[in-house]
């Protein structure tokens, strides 16, 4: 049951990350990756995380890559949306 909740929480976090990265200011998308690194660092420093060092490093990088991938995808989506809107405005100006 815990795995289902963890999976749903991960989906929600990635959705929020995608939403934040589509905002005008690109720094909104940096909030969750920074919080993720700070949280993982805190948990590692105080020994809350268990497992081998290699597993922890892989988990940290996998989570960070997922968050940064959602950030890049959101920024690209925002650029495409702006380009479509600009083309739409230019088409109205021609007529």
Query: What's the structural domain count of the chain?
Result: 1
Q: Give the domain range for residue 83.
A: 2-94
Q: Which of 42, 11, 29, 33 is nearest to 74 (CA)?
A: 29
Top pLDDT among 94 and 83 is at 83
State the sign of the Cα–Cα–Cα–Cα dihedral 33, 36, 40, 42: positive
At residue 95, the pLDDT reads 57
Q: List pLDDT tens digits, range 2-53.
A: 889 988 998 999 999 999 999 888 899 899 999 999 998 888 888 887 778 8
């Amino acid at each position: 049951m815990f795995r289902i909740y963890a999976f749903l929480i991960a989906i929600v976090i990635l959705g929020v990350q995608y939403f934040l990265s589509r905002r005008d200011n690109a720094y909104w998308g940096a909030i969750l990756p920074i919080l993720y690194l700070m949280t993982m660092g805190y948990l590692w420093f105080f020994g809350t995380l268990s497992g081998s060092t290699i597993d922890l490093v892989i988990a940290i990088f996998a989570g960070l890559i997922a968050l940064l991938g959602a950030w890049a995808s959101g920024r690209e989506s925002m650029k495409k949306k702006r380009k479509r809107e600009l083309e739409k405005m230019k088409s109205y100006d021609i007529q």
